[in-house]
Amino acid sequence: MNQNNLKNRFTRFLRGFLPSKEILIVCTLFYILGIVFVFMNPDLARLTFPGGMFLDNIEAKIRLPSSITLDYFFNQFFYYLGAISFNIFLNNLFLIGLCIFSGIAIFPVILIGLFMKMGVTTFFLVEKLGFTGFIVLLGSFHLYFEFLAALLAIDAFFKFYISFINAVKDKKIEIFKNNIINDFLPLVLRIILLLAIAAILEVFWSTWWVYIFTNHYVSWYEFYFGAYSVILK
């Protein structure tokens, strides 16, 4: 019985990460719109949507130390790479917060700045690398978590304001309070978790993954233990 309850709770937890079908369709349309935009005006598309690490050149300076000490490990993975991940997380959290509490931000940040931009980036990356471009995108795991967090952020926006409007209309603040505690806050916590995972993967996996396909191969160990400067040029 306890095992069944645990299984049911875990299933409900995972289902909480499923976005609304309508929102998924809309965001997919904007992704496709990005590809259409390139066909219509490739020069303007390239100018409007910089490719970031997928299209810009990643310049990495790598120098492995003669020995990996505990101090070096902490400095490299916590104070350098960890700090970069944390800054990415905070920046994405701020943008997602704008989208949740300001519906105006959903259009420029999520629909245009994420999904349409990735449609444009997909086209140019495949044009540049061919089939390898698809491999680069498929292996950039942080994108999946960013996409899902963005979809759920739109869900959170509607849950928050629909609950607020209904509470005002019915003059029952308790309904709004219960919806926030039982529905909205768990969704926000899932979004925060997704953004944290995305930031970690972007720094500790995807950057290396893109680098070895767009520059030259270097092992994960050498890249992360020896990199002391990684910039886009």
The total number of structural domains in the chain stands at: 1
Q: Give the residue numbers spanning the domain of 138.
A: 20-232
Q: Tell me: the pLDDT tens digits for 94-133?
A: 999 999 998 899 999 999 999 999 999 999 999 999 999 9
Distance in angstroms (rounded) separating the CA atoms of residues 162 and 169 = 10
How far apart, in Å, are the Cα atoms of 14 and each of 9, 156, 201? 9, 16, 20
For the chain, give the mean pLDDT. Answer: 92
> Has residue 11 been placed in a domain?
no
Q: Tell me: the pLDDT tens digits for 165-218?
A: 888 887 778 888 888 998 999 999 999 999 999 999 999 999 999 999 999 999
Please report the pLDDT score of residue 114 as a whole number. 96
pTM above 0.75, yes or no: yes
Task: Report the range of poorest mean pLDDT among 9-23, 75-89, 93-107, 117-131.
Answer: 9-23
Average pLDDT for 52-62: 90
> Has residue 5 been placed in a domain?
no
> Has residue 156 been placed in a domain?
yes
Roughly how many angstroms between the first and final C-alpha of the chain, as a whole number?
58
Q: Which of 195, 49, 55 is nearest to 108 (CA)?
A: 49
Answer yes or no: is pLDDT of 143 > 90: yes
> Has residue 37 been placed in a domain?
yes
Percentage of the chain lying above the pLDDT 70 cut: 98
Confidence of residue 14 (pLDDT cuts 50, 70, 90): confident
> Has residue 2 been placed in a domain?
no
Task: Enumerate residues 6+ apart whose C-beta is below 8 A from 6.
Answer: none
Confidence of residue 2 (pLDDT cuts 50, 70, 90): low
Q: What angle do CA 35, 36, 42 make, to 5 degrees?
A: 80
Q: Tell me: the pLDDT tens digits for 28-46?
A: 999 999 999 999 999 999 9
Answer yes or no: is pLDDT of 5 > 60: yes
